[in-house]
Amino acid sequence: AGDPEAGKGKIGACAACHGTDGKGTAPIYPNLAGQSAAYLESAMKAYREGQRSGGMAALMNPQAQGLSDEDIADIAAYYANLEP
């Protein structure tokens, strides 16, 4: 599983839209706080593999492409660990 503490240092770009508290900074950006880590990992990997093209995928794909599996696990753990 990911390390939320390590994730804290990797969410700089994510926080612009998803907040450091995991609350979307605009309605179209999903809240991530308290979301299931397994789902967050699966969603980030889908963006990374180019398996999503609707909605904000155009913005998310390049973000996810820069992430390793470990980064994805840590970022997922960070947001899953937050109070919704």
Q: Is the Cβ of residue 43 or residue 73 nearer to its own copies in the bound state?
A: 43
| Residue 76 near residue 44 (C-beta atoms within 8 A) | yes
Nearer to its own copies, 12 or 27 (CB): 27
Q: Which is nearer to its own copies, 9 or 59 (CB)?
A: 59
Task: Give how far the C-alpha of residue 65 lies from the chain's centroid of Cα atoms, to the nearest Å.
Answer: 12
Q: How far is the CB of 5 from its own copies (least distance, A)?
A: 21
CB 21 within 8 A of CB 82: yes
Q: How far is the CB of 11 from its own copies (least distance, A)?
A: 18
- Using CB under 8 A as the criterion, which residues of the chain lie in contact with its own copies when the complex forms? 24, 27-31, 33-39, 42-43, 45-47, 49, 51-57, 84
In the complex, what is the shortest distance from the CB of residue 4 to its own copies, in angstroms, rounded to a whole number?
16
If you compute the radius of gyration of the chain from its CA atoms, what whole number of angstroms results? 11
Give the torsion sign (CA, 55, 39, 68, 3): positive
